[in-house]
Amino acid sequence: MKDADKSVDNRPTDSFTLTDNSTNETWTIPGRVGKMGNRLIDIKSLYGNTGLLTYDPGFTSTASCRSSITYINGAKGVLLHRGYSIDELASKSDFMETCYLLLYSELPTPEQLTSFTNDIKHHTLIHEQLARFYQGFMRSAHPMAIMVGVVGALSAFYHDNTDTTDIAHRRLAAHRLIAKMPTIGACAYKYSLGLPFPTPRNDLSYSENLLQMMFSNPAEEYKINPVLARAIDKILILHADHEQNASTSTVRLAGSSGANPYACIASGIASLWGPAHGGANEAVLKMLDEIGSADRVHKYIAKAQDKNDSFRLMGFGHRVYKNYDPRAAVMRDTCHEVLKVLGIHDPQLELAMKLEEIALKDSYFIEKKLYPNVDFYSGIIMKAMGFPTSMFTVMFAIGRTVGWISHWKEMLVDEEHRIGRPRQLYAGEKQRKYIPLDKRGHTSKKTSWSWLWGK
């Protein structure tokens, strides 16, 4: 690895023996170990040496790359960025420092922070032509749909002049994306309201500027509440990166072909939007609306456990955390702080607390190690601040952009990186004889559409 990511460790370690029980043939498979975390079986050469493939839908047991950005120990509820714990970063650093850390691998000195922050501030405006792009969307369009389109469209503005093999170009793309995401997100919100597009202000911090772009209007002075600005900053820090999650892996996969970085980030936004990932914060509020009152919590806890019911407790469970999501702990405290400052007595928060209390004592949730995740609280904070639910995932995307772009550039400079090209377990028809159109009647074999398309 080159660039700032030399610290990755990939020592060879003990090997493993694979035996084909039908032939007794054995192969020695090399092992590998990172600086921390699980031991790995290095199957890079498995297919070449044995003709065998591995099967792992959802990548539950597969490390798709090596990385030195973020470390998670899900059993212990640990999350480190470049070795620093998330609670320390959230309580002692701001989002700009966190961005610098993720991109450049060290916390910045005061001079580095000033220079980095100034550079970001000088890329916050969007091209007038890009601003016109919004006009093509319905006012009622979901802001995440607009984000996918507009961020993808950035690639049209910066394509021929973007050479991803040049470090200066990669850095410029990273800074531009971090700088423009709040402007693009705020414009999506203002567009839905029919209000004029906001102008970024360089005298404000990243989070203050984000707040003012979302909530100010040209007719009135907007006073920034420092507690809310700090809460926004924490939300951004807590969402900044989370190693190889679905959206980050999507960005890496898109980028592995050498695709335009802005288009790669748009693919990450698309993946983030799903309710099992970043869309969960919006889904939590919808779920609380549906539950309605504390006396109905037990009914919904039972629904979540019913195998014949597709209902899940949104904001609960995580692929990696099987103890507690450390981001949720910080978010919970911030949530209470914000509601206190705003003097909001939110019955939905009380309902959320009741739900959390009951679920944490329930044997189903205990056995399956399902705890509240970061999205359980972030929606409640953002609602209290005045964000409509449809904007919650946009805020997540603004925070996660630095993580996506850090992984993208880390991948490009890793000499082990190749185009991502998974294999499959083929479950379709064997080769069969082609039937001309005029000879095709109803075949004797019944086609089960529900098998092909779902119920």
Q: Which chain residues interact with ligand CMC by CB under 6 A? A: 58, 242, 245, 276-278, 280, 304, 312-319, 368, 370, 373-375
- Closer residue to ligand CMC in complex, CB, 80/341: 80
Q: Which residue is nearest to ligand CMC (CB)?
A: 317
Residue with tokens 């190690």: 369
Active site residue 362: no
**b/e code 9-48 from CB counts within 10 Å (16+ = b):** eeeeeeeeebeeeeeeeeeebbebebeeeeebebbeebee
Tokens of 320: 């990696």
- Closer residue to ligand CMC in complex, CB, 240/412: 240
Length of the chain: 455
Residue with tokens 């693919």: 267
- Closer residue to ligand CMC in complex, CB, 122/296: 296
- Closer residue to ligand CMC in complex, CB, 107/395: 395
Query: Can you spell out the DSSP letters for 314-357?
Result: TTB--SS-SS--HHHHHHHHHHHHHHHHTT---HHHHHHHHHHH
- What is the nearest approach in angstroms of ligand CMC to the Cβ of residue 366? 12
CB of 381 within 8 A of CB of 332? no
- The CA angle 79-84-87, to the nearest 5 degrees, is 60
- The CA angle 115-93-99, to the nearest 5 degrees, is 50
Using CA atoms, how far apart are residues 188 and 48, in angstroms rounded to an integer? 49
Give the containing element (helix H, strand E) for 168: helix 167-193
- What is the nearest approach in angstroms of ligand CMC to the Cβ of residue 447? 28
Tokens of 318: 């995580």
**b/e code 150-173 from CB counts within 10 Å (16+ = b):** bbbbbbeebeeebebeeeeebbbb
- Closer residue to ligand CMC in complex, CB, 436/454: 454
Tokens of 72: 């998670």
- What is the nearest approach in angstroms of ligand CMC to the Cβ of residue 22? 30
- What is the nearest approach in angstroms of ligand CMC to the Cβ of residue 277? 4
Active site residue 325: no
- Closer residue to ligand CMC in complex, CB, 97/325: 325
CB half-sphere exposure, 21, CA atoms < 13 A: 0
- What is the nearest approach in angstroms of ligand CMC to the Cβ of residue 370? 5
Question: Rg of the chain's alpha carbons, rounded to an integer?
Answer: 24
- What is the nearest approach in angstroms of ligand CMC to the Cβ of residue 369? 8
- What is the nearest approach in angstroms of ligand CMC to the Cβ of residue 375? 5
| H-assigned helices in 216-325 | 226-239, 246-255, 261-272, 280-291, 297-305
Q: How many beta carbons lie within 10 A of that of residue 385, not counting itself?
A: 19
Find the catalytic residue in 81, 175, 277, 318: 318
- Closer residue to ligand CMC in complex, CB, 108/278: 278
- Closer residue to ligand CMC in complex, CB, 95/133: 95
- What is the nearest approach in angstroms of ligand CMC to the Cβ of residue 233? 19
Find the catalytic residue in 241, 375, 407, 414: 375
Q: Is 128 helix (H, G, I), strand (E, B) or coil?
A: helix
Positions annotated as catalytic residues are 318, 375
